[in-house]
Amino acid sequence: MLYRYKDRRPSLGERVYVAPNAAVIGDVTLGDDASIWFSVTVRADLEPIRIGARTNIQDGSVVHVTGGSHGVSIGDDCTVGHMALVHGCTIGDRVLVGMGSTVLDGAEVGDDVVIGAGSLVTPRTKIPPMSLVMGRPARVVRTLTESDVAWVKGSVLAYVEGGRTFREDVEPIG
């Protein structure tokens, strides 16, 4: 469901999928082929949120801003795994935020990064490109391989196709 907040309203690109029980609120921009899945909240009431082309925000995740200081920018071709929290931060292109992970205020995540499931990226952390990070707090474990980058791309493509399927072939029955 899309919601206006004061004079701010979501802007959607082409072929976007928003699950019927997701909440996309306020100054949110969704790029082409982005998908927002079931029970997701994307709340841009105080600062803008930008979610790039082909990026998917999976079931139960929350994307929110820090009023007066940090909006959220998530690049193109990203996967934000189930039950993740993305708050007031910048995430580059081709990033996978693992299930149950948290990325906090002022963090900057470079391009081509994998954040392992359950990780905590603390405020103002800067993660360099091509990194695998894991832990609480998250630390760089190693440099990504081309195989890792291809795996992230595969996840993105699967969700682009899933968004298409859900737009066309899913309907409530009761």
Structural domains of the chain sorted by starting position, each given as residue range(s) with its CATH number in brackets: 2-169 (2.160.10.10)
Distance CA 73, CA 96 (A): 14
Task: Report the chain's mean pLDDT, rounded to a whole number.
Answer: 97
Distance CA 167, CA 65 (A): 28
103: left (phi over 0), alpha (psi -120 to 50) or beta: beta
How close are the terminal C-alpha atoms of the chain, in Å? 18
The structure's pTM equals 0.97
Q: Tell me: the pLDDT tens digits for 155-165?
A: 999 999 999 99
**In the numeric block, which tokens belong to residue 35?**
């998908």
Q: Tell me: the pLDDT tens digits for 89-145?
A: 999 999 999 999 999 999 999 999 999 999 999 999 999 999 999 999 999 999 999
Mean of pLDDT values over 69-79: 96
**In the numeric block, which tokens belong to residue 42?**
């994307």
The owner of tokens 């859900």 is: 166
pLDDT at position 172 over 90: no
Distance CA 140, CA 154 (A): 23
Shortest CA distance to 59 belongs to which of 100, 93, 29?
100
Amino acid at 173: I
pLDDT band with cut points at 50, 70 and 90 for residue 174 = confident
pLDDT band with cut points at 50, 70 and 90 for residue 8 = very high
- Longest CA span, the chain: 48
